[in-house]
Structure 1
Amino acid sequence: MDFIWWIWNASLGDGMGLGGESVNRLCNPLMDILKLVDPCQKLAIQIFITLEHSLESGYEKIRIGIHACFPGSELPSFYQVKHLLVDLTGVMSIINHMCINSCTTFVGPYAHLDTCPECDEPHYDQLRQNRGVKHPHAVFHTIPIGPQLQALW
């Protein structure tokens, strides 16, 4: 019944997913066509998309190679390109904790549990806890459909 209550009372501003600027952008989508004028940003996005399933280190090696050939170029870092794409498209992932055995997710009524209600595995990695910071055993990413549809439009 708890999950039914959480779903029934879900809203864009409930703090469980999108927040702040993302909710504002979802409710007030951009109406202009995006135009990138910076050639380094265009190149960085093209490389990022081309290396879609590659490691971050692959992007960085290409970036270093381009900078060696063109010392004045200001190609953004991998981290900067990811944030540039979020700024341009509004598409971002929501990260939630999950059981290490994939039994359940620690959201809604399970958000504050310290162990999985199905298998009793701990929510947090006991070995990685330092200075009171809790690290989940596992996470999953959800990419909301609303911003994706707006980006396509």
Structure 2
Amino acid sequence: NPPTSQLLLKDNPDLKAVVKLYLKLSHAQVDYNSAHEVIIQHLGTTEFPSLHQAQQAVKHLSSVSSLMNDMCVNTCLAFTGPLAAFKSCPQCGEACYQEDILQKSKGKKFVPHQQYSTIPLGPLFQVMS
């Protein structure tokens, strides 16, 4: 769904700085967390927005969000649609999920070996029209 309210960065200089920082980083999570730690130490505050808040602001501003999908660690295929229930790749036999984590959680925590993101075009076209 498109946003129902306008997010004004000019009213929140910290959020504006966070969005700029997030958009400049190539490895967002690792880089942002490192930069976030330095900024908090430098400013002596714990009130600086998190990576999640930056991502949500960008998502809100652009009205575009991505979907994460599990895929074979060898990039054979994606575990979506008719393959969503598969626990291993039918082409190479590699497990979809990290076995050690699955066993430690007694079959409750499914952490994929690899994921990819897609951006649904429908909402993007709705925003553009």
TM-score range, shorter chain: 0.7 to 0.9
Question: CA shift at 1:100, angstroms?
Answer: 1.8
Which amino acid counterpart does residue 90 of structure 1 have in structure 2?
S
Residues 18-29 of structure 1 mapped to structure 2, 5 A cutoff: 24-25=1-2
| Pair 1:142 & 2:115 matched | no
Q: 1:151 to 1:47 in 2, by over 3 A?
A: farther
Query: In the comparison of the two structures, how many residue pairs are matched?
Result: 125
> For 1:58 and 1:34, how far apart are their aligned partners in 2?
25
Contact 1:103 1:119 in 2 (8 A): yes
Structure 2 residue corresponding to 1:81, chosen from 38, 48, 54: 54
Q: 1:152 to 1:48 in 2, by over 3 A?
A: farther
Contact 2:22 2:28 in 1 (8 A): no
Q: 1:46 to 1:73 in 2, by over 3 A?
A: farther
> For 1:47 and 1:120, how far apart are their aligned partners in 2?
40
* Of 114-123 and 65-74, the range deviating more from structure 2: 65-74
Contact 1:40 1:73 in 2 (8 A): no
Q: 1:116 to 1:60 in 2, by over 3 A?
A: closer
> For 1:35 and 1:111, how far apart are their aligned partners in 2?
39
Identical-pair percentage = 31
Q: 1:123 to 1:61 in 2, by over 3 A?
A: closer
Structure with max Cα Rg: 1
> For 2:45 and 2:96, how far apart are their aligned partners in 1?
47
TM-score by length of 1: 0.64
Which amino acid counterpart does residue 56 of structure 2 have in structure 1?
H
Q: What is the aligned partner in structure 1 of residue 94 from structure 2? A: 121
Q: What is the aligned partner in structure 2 of residue 41 from structure 1? A: 15
Post-superposition CA distance 1:41-78 (Å, at most 9, x none)? 11111111122x03534323433443344446832011
Structure 1 residue corresponding to 2:33, chosen from 57, 60, 84: 60
> For 2:66 and 2:79, how far apart are their aligned partners in 1?
16
Structure with bigger helix share is 2
Task: Tell me how large the CA RMSD over aligned residues is.
Answer: 2.8
